[in-house]
Amino acid sequence: MDSKDYLKVSEEKMGKTIDVFRHELASMRAGRANPQILDRITVDYYGSPTPLNQLGNISAPEPRVLLISVWDQSVVSEISKAIMKSDLGMNPIVDGKAIRLIIPELTEERRKQLVKLVHRSGEDAKVAIRSIRRDAIEQLKKLQKEGAVTEDDMRRDEKEVQKITDNHVKIIDDLIRAKEKEIMAV
């Protein structure tokens, strides 16, 4: 692999880190019904942990209500228990083959907690981005020691890695600000 390949691989890894962060943000509660907040919940289905979205259809018929239409009636109580055990703070209402989740209005204190969680998550994503940068620079230095690239090329590539890193960190900062605005909106 030459230095351009390392740059490309690093940029792809950083992009994947941002995708993971976006998915994590989407699964955070923000005061209105969003089916993705249930993505992290798994249910014990015949002895194996199964994601909730594989056991039924999840929809948001109203702005503050989630409806889970379960395909297998025998698992309704297990789904209800899994939701209660989760950190969502919601009590499921079982209605035959369907489960309703009423999204409570967020208190100011809970909003601030969620914003802190978003910032912590964002910082973790930034650390991952910086780790990818460090690995790329180490690979570039290794290439230079092997004589595969000149010192000038290595310096140019280091600057390019830094530029890519700065762009991805900016994207994370923008995502944090957008989610914070969404959470704090009353």
What domains can be seen in the chain, in order of their start residue? 3-26+107-184 (1.10.132.20), 35-102 (3.30.1360.40)
Q: What is the pTM of this model?
A: 0.72
Is the Cβ–Cβ distance between 118 and 25 less than 8 Å?
yes
Place of tokens 């209005």: 105
What dihedral do alpha carbons 78, 81, 82, 85 form, nearest 10°? -160
Tally of helices (H runs) and strands (E runs) in the chain: 4, 6
pLDDT of residue 110: 81
Average pLDDT over residues 147-159: 87
Q: What percent of the chain has pLDDT over 90?
A: 29
pLDDT of residue 31: 65
Q: What percent of the chain has pLDDT over 70?
A: 97
- How far apart are the C-alpha atoms of 176 and 116, rounded to whole Å? 10
81's CB contacts (< 8 A; 6+ apart) are none
